[in-house]
Amino acid sequence: MRIFVAGASGQLARALKARAGAAGHVAETFGRPALDLASSADPAPAIAGFAADIVINAAAYTAVDKAEAEPEQAFAVNRDGAARLAAAVRRLGLPLLHVSTDYVFDGGKGAPYVEADATAPLGVYGRSKREGEAAVLAAHPDALVFRTGWVYGADGRNFVRTMVELAAERDRLDIVADRFGNPTHAADLADGLLAIARQAAEHRGGGIFHLAGSEEASWHDLAGGVMGSLAAAGRRVPELSPISGDAYVAAAARPRDSRLDCSLAAQTFGVRLPGWRASAGVAVSAILEQQETTR
């Protein structure tokens, strides 16, 4: 299977390329200038030139706080660019997997969200992704949209990498303990999407699904797991101090509890992602290995 991955620099795009090769597929990532979702250029020639069998949109504007000051850029990529890509994929007669976010919810439910729950994003980023979901399905009704959350890995900027780096510098870390979600290893998410991609051509009808790590956590829980992995590797471990998310000042509000119920994807595609307790350790080991090779 030849997989066209929209996005090149993000951690999911990188994971998709690496994991596709391991699964016997050919995947290539496309970012600027070859593919710029913020522009009005038609993506179809790039997709056709690659002779793709399927397209996975892993490209997004993900600067949550910065989006508050530049909403036009967020919507240009996450809504308008995503819709343009979806329309091109439909014209070419190809399946499309589109990645969205748990930030389409406000976090007030108090239980894991199912796909049918009402969306109520708190900021520009979440609104742009919510409108992107609708725009993608309008342009390509058979598209499969997958909401995920708390993505981390060895590449890019993410919570786990930040914890590893700060652990080497500080004696104490204040970590939010009252915000909850599903930490999702980028490699696990890539594997799940690739497994679904193999079924996409036969799947009839598009829709929205949740696809995230199978274990819940607070940020403090996840940080504790990272510290456990660091301790096992013989690294120094700072003290973790739990704090309220209300003490964390940011330009954009975050959902307090964005846990996702992923049972529909499991029932439909037979795919359930691993939990963070094992996968975070894999990511920590990869980050430490990277640090060793760059010294």
Catalytic residues: 125
38 neighbors 81 (Cβ within 8 angstroms): yes
104 neighbors 158 (Cβ within 8 angstroms): no
Look at the alpha carbons of 229, 254, 260, 146 in this order and tell me if their dihedral is positive or negative. negative
**φ, ψ (nearest 5 deg) of residue 175:** -125, 135
User: What element of type H or E holds 47?
Assistant: helix 44-50
**Token pair for residue 262?**
């992923």
Closest by alpha carbon to 57, among 95, 93, 26?
95
102 neighbors 147 (Cβ within 8 angstroms): yes
**Token pair for residue 106?**
């406000």
How large is the angle between the packed helices 276-293 and 186-200, nearest 10 degrees? 110
d(CA 35, CA 32): 5
d(CA 78, CA 76): 6
**Which residue shows structure tokens 């979702």?**
37
For residue 142, give Cα distances in angstroms to 87, 122, 208. Answer: 11, 28, 10
